[in-house]
Structure 1
Amino acid sequence: MEAEMEMIHKNDTWELVDKPVNRKIIGVKWVFRTKNNIDGSLNKHKARLLVKGYSQQQGSVFLNGFLKEEIFIEQPEGFKVAGEEHKVYKLKKALYGLKQAPRAWYDRIDAYLSNLGFEKSISKPTLYVKKAEKETLLIVSLYVDNLLVTGCKGELIEDFKKQIVDVFKMTDLGLMTYFLGMEVNQNEHGIFINQQAFAQKVLSKFNMSKCKHVSTPVALGEKLSSTSEHDRVDEKEYRSLVGCLLYLTATRPDILYAVSLLSRFMHCYNVTYFKAAKRVLRFVKGTLGYGVKFERAKELKLVSYSDSDWAGSVDDMKSTSGYFFTLGSGVFSWSSKKQQTVAQSIAEVEYIADAGAVNQAIWLRKLLYDLNEEQVEATEIKVDNQSAVAIAKNPMFHGKTKHFKIKYHFVREAELSKEINLVHCCSEVQLADILTKPLAATKFEYLNKQIGVCCFVAKEEC
């Protein structure tokens, strides 16, 4: 707490003034947190002083996210100035908790990085790249007040870290091994990311550390419906479980379909859904330590796999779209989402799924361009439906496609501009199958290996 107060005073964040008349004084609160290492050992104790920003009123002390008006806060307990307890602090800069705080921090770090010669990505405003002609010198990615830094030379990275640490008083954590609950293993062969520690916490939280594991996260042929009549379960527990599983999908695409399916029933939780959610946890228990593997590749070629099921939702007959993107080796981008439209044919279902993959492909191509990894050739999107491919490549009017929503014909435009290229592939090699439907154990395990989901074994192939 003393360290936090010292930093606040050092940054000249506020000044002590007399309490103003007819002005709202915002309260403050201390938040304490214990930060641990990957192995569970203590890293440090942290205290943070937060402003109760929820009491801010639109049009008074809060105006479009900027510190436009004077803001007064009370003195924090335990640190009131002796003899001047009746006074309050007038903020010069934003503190954590204020509605202005995120924008104020972003504006400051954005200005600093721009002065250092970084270019902000248009496609992703939290990505900054420093270039020298065709060479990428440094890449900085922001996540709130966390910075990930990489570059082509170690000395450039070290120089940058010294500059940023000196200005913003940050802590240099060295080579990334743990970030936002994700564990990162890096070696000369590639990178492996997983969330084993977080998964163990989830298993312990729901008393399933000793449960029997299952071979697949979703039972083959299982159909969930919001109209089924079963006993209700605890609302908070079900939502908490699904929320934990959603966070696990950051490194576990093999459970994404199951978790996406369960998240559709947050409003009508019952015993059936809770058992289905626990089945996913049982699968996680049997595959504890699994994650996504990325090997070093000579060529960074963007490739996509797109697929869908057919009227998988019992409630509204809507289908589920899914896609994977690979870059060199291993998948790095994935999605499983119920479609917004009821399709009248398998071709329409696949075409709608392709449209979602095309949107993501165009955004990723822009992102890679910003990183000096321009995709000169069209990005292949592999589809296992020949009719969907024909619809995209043939702009002629057809009676069976006249009811398609106009937004989905964006696929044709991307095809004509040579940004994407829909390619037919057989169903046996369609990786996105694992994102759209329940599978038998044999095929599920095969696809899992193909997308690079495995267990990390030091000095050995996964």
Structure 2
Amino acid sequence: MGDEASVGSHRQQSTISGPDSDPIIPVHLKFLISNIKNLVPTILTSENYSIWWLQLHQHFVANGYDGHLSGATICPPDSQHPQHLILRQLQSEFKLKQLGDISLFLGIQVIKTTYSYFLSQSHFAQDLLLSAGFTDCKPAATPAPSRPSLSFDEQPYADPKLFRKLAGSLQYLSITRLDIAFATNSICQHMHQPRNGDFQSLKRLLRYIKGSFSYGLPITMGPMQLRSYTYADWAANTADMKSMSDFCTFLGSNIVSWSVKKQTTIARSSTEAEYKSLSSATSDILWIRRLAEDLGIPQIRPTVIYYDNTSTIVLDNNPVFNARTKHIEIDYHFISDHIQKGHISIAHICTADQIADILTKSLPVSRFQLLRSKLTIRSHND
């Protein structure tokens, strides 16, 4: 993923050499294409794509533009060129549909303030509670109890179709609600054969949503430097002894990527589990760095990954592999290679400050609320 060939291939698909190029629409043109309704053909072929590209290019050149499109924006000849004049020029030539400021996208409300946006699925959460019959339930302070119940009902749940419907809705709700990601992940692992005990866990999560349906994800202005937190809970699953991996990546103060996943193989040590999680986070960061560069946000400095496993730190500083650590050598060299290339750097963080801890286990109320605030999950009114 990090080799020069793959980087070159990625960038090559993000450029247009001219009207004779193949009909591959770059990412940074999709916004513009979606607004020019009369020129975008229903079926994209080499011929009509070339006509569309040529007409658009000629319009820009005729109006004094350099013909360069960058990151879903049009570069005007004058940096002070008002946006409404650009739109007026385009409307004189093409049929445009101006939608105004975004307010709703795929069920996600976008609330605009003076200096930020706020992403919320409160309407979806309320509809979910209504369909489940939990509109008047007693709210819970956390998505799951910090200690598992001693008496778990193993009997099959009577309505597995309802269970799957609610579990799928919870998974969609976690797009803006990272605070329910771990509980939702645990519930979705039992969608095929849900038990009564699994439905009790789902009910607890619905009770938590009842008390926090207005929560969402803010997007604020600030520095555009990437940083990531990764964590692994070794042998977290007592049924198969597999570990949980998670990471969350921030661009400035805004969280832009996260993952909660049970590892596919059993780790024989906490160091192995940590390296698997660290390797997954590294792969994700490399992709985000390339995307950020395409969007005009190049990452000059290495992306810092914070984790709290001291054994992994020792191995980073003294890469001597013996019989106990040789099985993680591939992950180590993958991570080490990108450290040497300046793509990432590793930093230690104490467990108390590890934000990713909220994505791997159920926590007490005070600890959960602290980490939730660090994830920036909050109510729009806070």
Residue 158 of structure 1: aligned partner: 87
Residue 184 of structure 1: aligned partner: 110
Task: Tell me the SS of whatever aligns to 1:439.
Answer: coil
1:332-347 correspondence runs (5 A):
332-347=256-271
Residue 172 of structure 1: aligned partner: 98
TM-score, length of structure 1 as denominator length: 0.65
Measured in 2, the distance between the counterparts of 1:195 and 1:399 equals: 50
Task: Tell me the SS of whatever aligns to 2:293.
Answer: helix
Q: Shift of the alpha carbon at 1:222? A: 2.3
Task: Tell me the SS of whatever aligns to 1:403.
Answer: helix
Q: Whose relative contact order is higher, 1 or 2, with alpha carbons under 8 Å and at least 6 apart?
A: 2
Aligned residues of 2:275 and 2:331 also touching (Cα < 8 A): no
Measured in 2, the distance between the counterparts of 1:106 and 1:285 equals: 50
C-alpha offsets along residues 177-205 of structure 1, whole Å, 9 cap, x if unaligned?
11000001112221110101111110101
Residue 307 of structure 1: aligned partner: 231
Q: Shift of the alpha carbon at 1:237? A: 0.3
Residue 23 of structure 2: aligned partner: none
**Structure (1/2) with the larger helix percentage:** 2
Residue 138 of structure 1: aligned partner: 72
Return the letter of the residue paired with 2:106.
L
Aligned residues of 1:233 and 1:274 also touching (Cα < 8 A): no
Aligned residues of 1:223 and 1:314 also touching (Cα < 8 A): no
Residue 31 of structure 2: aligned partner: none
Residues 1:197 and 2:123 are matched in the alignment? yes
Task: Tell me the SS of whatever aligns to 1:246.
Answer: helix
Residues 1:247 and 2:176 are matched in the alignment? no
Q: CA RMSD in A?
A: 3.2
TM-score, length of structure 2 as denominator length: 0.77
Return the letter of the residue paired with 1:214.
A
Which of 375, 378, 381 is 1:454 aligned to?
A: 378
Aligned residues of 1:393 and 1:412 also touching (Cα < 8 A): no
Residue 22 of structure 2: aligned partner: none
Cα distance, 1:450–1:391 mapped onto 2, change above 3 Å: same
1:55-454 correspondence runs (5 A):
104=43, 116=56, 136=70, 138-139=72-73, 154-155=83-84, 158=87, 162=91, 166=95, 171-222=97-148, 229-297=154-222, 299-404=223-328, 406-407=330-331, 409-454=333-378
Q: Shift of the alpha carbon at 1:111? A: 6.3
Q: Shift of the alpha carbon at 1:136? A: 4.6
Aligned residues of 2:358 and 2:371 also touching (Cα < 8 A): yes
Aligned residues of 1:161 and 1:172 also touching (Cα < 8 A): no
Measured in 2, the distance between the counterparts of 1:191 and 1:106 equals: 38
The structure with more radius of gyration: 1
Q: Shift of the alpha carbon at 1:270? A: 1.3
C-alpha offsets along residues 196-240 of structure 1, whole Å, 9 cap, x if unaligned?
111111010111111111011011122799x97324231110000
Cα distance, 1:224–1:291 mapped onto 2, change above 3 Å: farther
Aligned residues of 1:217 and 1:280 also touching (Cα < 8 A): yes
Q: Which runs of 5+ in 2 are unaligned?
A: 1-41, 58-64, 75-80
Q: Shift of the alpha carbon at 1:309? A: 1.0
Q: Percent identity?
A: 33
Measured in 2, the distance between the counterparts of 1:161 and 1:239 equals: 47
Cα distance, 1:268–1:281 mapped onto 2, change above 3 Å: same
Cα distance, 1:318–1:405 mapped onto 2, change above 3 Å: farther
Q: Which runs of 5+ in 1 are unaligned?
A: 1-102, 118-129, 141-151
Measured in 1, the distance between the counterparts of 2:92 and 2:155 equals: 60
C-alpha offsets along residues 315-370 of structure 1, whole Å, 9 cap, x if unaligned?
21101111111111131211101111211111111111111110000000000110
Task: Tell me the SS of whatever aligns to 1:292.
Answer: strand
Measured in 2, the distance between the counterparts of 1:180 and 1:311 equals: 37
Measured in 2, the distance between the counterparts of 1:187 and 1:418 equals: 37
Measured in 2, the distance between the counterparts of 1:341 and 1:395 equals: 23
Return the letter of the residue paired with 2:168.
G
Measured in 2, the distance between the counterparts of 1:388 and 1:261 equals: 27
Cα distance, 1:185–1:164 mapped onto 2, change above 3 Å: farther
